[in-house]
Structures are given as C-alpha cells and as structure tokens.
Amino acid sequence: MLTEGIRPNEISFVGLLTACSHAGLLNEGMYYFMVMKEEYGIKPQVEHFTCMVDLFGRAGRLDEIKDFISKNKISHLAAVWKSFLSSCRIHKNIEMARWVSTKLFELEPPTAGSYILLSNTCASGDKWDDVAQVRGLMKEMGVKKHPGQSWIQLKNQVHSFVMGDRSHPEEAAIYSYLDELIRRLKEIGYSTEAGIVMQDVEEEQKELLIGFHSEKLAIAYALMNTSTKSPIRIMKNLRVCTDCHSFMKYTSLLLNRELVVRDLRRFHHFKHGDCSCGDYW
C-alpha cells in the first residue's frame, strides 16, 4: 500500500493485526499496533483491541492480556473478554477462565456461548463440580444451548444433521461408515478428546457422546457419496469442538481429502492433516 502511495486506515490495520495473529507474529503485531497509533494517529477501536488480545492469546501470553487490558483501559469492552475467554479454553487455564468469565458476565447478560466456553474449559481439567455449577447457572438464568447442526449439499439436495441424528434414510450406513472411519483414524494417531463432554461419565460413554457430532455425520455421508478427489464443504451453526477439529485433520490426512468447514467463528480449510486456522479458533 505504501509503495502505491495509499495511506493505511483503521480497516487496513485490522487486517494487518489479524494476519499477524494468525501467523503467530507476536512482536510484529505489537510493532504495527504501536505504528498505527503513533505514526498514523489512528485511535484503536474495539476491533483492534480484540485482535491484540487474540494475538497475545495465540502466543499463550495470558498474563500479558491482563496487563494490556489494564494499560489501555478497555475493561468495559465485552468483545475483549470474550476473546480472552477463548484463549483460556485453548490453553486450558481454568483459574483464569473463571476470573475472565466473571468480568464478562458483569458487562452483559451471559450467553450460551460464553457459558459453554467456561464449562468446556472446566471439563477439560476434570473439574466436574465446576461444570455442574456452570450448568446450574445456565438453568437458573434460562440460558439454553442450541443443538449443533450441520448442513451439506450433494446433487442439488441439502442434507441436515444433528448430534446423534437417526432420522436420515441412510442412517445405518452412515453410522457404520463413521465407526469404521474412526477406527482407522485411531490407527494413525487420532484420539477422542473426551474432556470436552459436559458430563461426568465413564470415558467410554464420553466417546459415544462426542462420536456422533453433527459435522462427523455430515462428513461421513459426504465421503460415502462423493468422488475421492472432490473437496467436501460443510456449514455448521456452532463453533467446531476440539475433538471434531482433530477428527477432520486426521480425516484429511488419511484420505487425502480437502475439507472446508464454515462454523460460527470462521472458515476451516483442512488439507494434509493441517487446518488453515492453525488450531486456534
């Protein structure tokens, strides 16, 4: 832009900071944030602050996020705390997640997404008393978790799946295919991340609970009905869980297939066992 004589604006820096965050370029992101303010006189907006929190979070610098929020006097911005809470989930920092969720809930009515983030963080550390407390608060506040639903279009027909769905005409074949696929994936290193289940049940039962998430059913059906070289495209109404994300990475590796999934947060492009999000979403 500069070589073409185009002066960057607020939107330009959102894109630049996002790129630094996704590429893990912490020092560069901090530098451009400073340049934006001091050289271009651009006052940071909530989007810029959220990008910076995401940048620190990807680098695992959770304590630095606290300092950044305090230094910039942005504790009134709910979006910043939501990004912070996501970082706590990724790094499984339960104590920090509790503190961040308290700050977030002081600013806006708790949403299902925020509660689920906190609950999943607690569940990943086997803090089942905390999970039960979060679920109790959800019930008390009348907050309901929307069921996950995934869609895929094949031959001009849209197929919809929900977790544990048995209504599809080909459900027996879909579940059988998925069982076999999971068995093959485990042979190359995939393991179910049962810690995301919000229930204190036996490990085997947890595997069953997460084994039939809507996106897994959609992928199984797509694999059964498409050519071996065509990419698979799926839409989902919620954020993809960590287990399904791992499942898709291993599926793309095992079958050499491209998977494109649009969830509530972003596009995920799986190829050769990797995802375009860099395992942070």
Assess whether 253 and 137 both reside in one domain.
Answer: no
Assess whether 20 and 124 both reside in one domain.
Answer: yes
Distances (CA, A) of 136 to 153, 195, 199, 200: 38, 19, 13, 14
CATH number at residue 71: 1.25.40.10
Q: For residue 100, is it within any domain?
A: yes
Q: For residue 197, is it within any domain?
A: yes
Structural tokens at position 78: 């709910």
pLDDT of residue 22: 83
pLDDT of residue 272: 97
Describe the crossing of helices 10-22 and 26-38 by its angle, rounded to 10 degrees: 170
The residue assigned the tokens 């039960």 is 132
- The residue range of the domain holding 125 is 10-141
Q: For residue 3, is it within any domain?
A: no
For residue 53, is pLDDT > 70?
A: yes
Assess whether 109 and 47 both reside in one domain.
Answer: yes
- Give the lowest-confidence range in 28-32, 70-74, 110-114: 110-114
Report the percentage of the chain scoring pLDDT > 70: 93
pLDDT tens for 209-236 read 556 899 999 999 999 999 888 999 999 9
Q: What DSSP assignment string belongs to 25-49?
A: -HHHHHHHHHHHHHTT-PPP-HHHH
Q: How many domains does the chain have?
A: 2
Structural tokens at position 81: 């705390």
Structural tokens at position 15: 């894109």
Assess whether 154 and 224 both reside in one domain.
Answer: yes
pLDDT of residue 60: 93
239 or 143, greater pLDDT: 239
Distances (CA, A) of 242 to 47, 90, 136, 167: 25, 9, 24, 26
Q: For residue 225, is it within any domain?
A: yes
pLDDT of residue 190: 95
pLDDT tens for 3-34 read 777 889 999 999 999 999 988 899 999 999 99
Assess whether 203 and 131 both reside in one domain.
Answer: no
pLDDT band of 111, cuts 50, 70, 90? confident
pLDDT of residue 81: 95
pTM: 0.72
Q: For residue 200, is it within any domain?
A: yes
The answer to whether the beta carbons of residues 174 and 220 sit under 8 Å apart is: yes
73 or 5, greater pLDDT: 73
Assess whether 158 and 258 both reside in one domain.
Answer: yes
The answer to whether the beta carbons of residues 218 and 159 sit under 8 Å apart is: yes
Assess whether 63 and 176 both reside in one domain.
Answer: no
Assess whether 38 and 78 both reside in one domain.
Answer: yes
Q: For residue 280, is it within any domain?
A: no
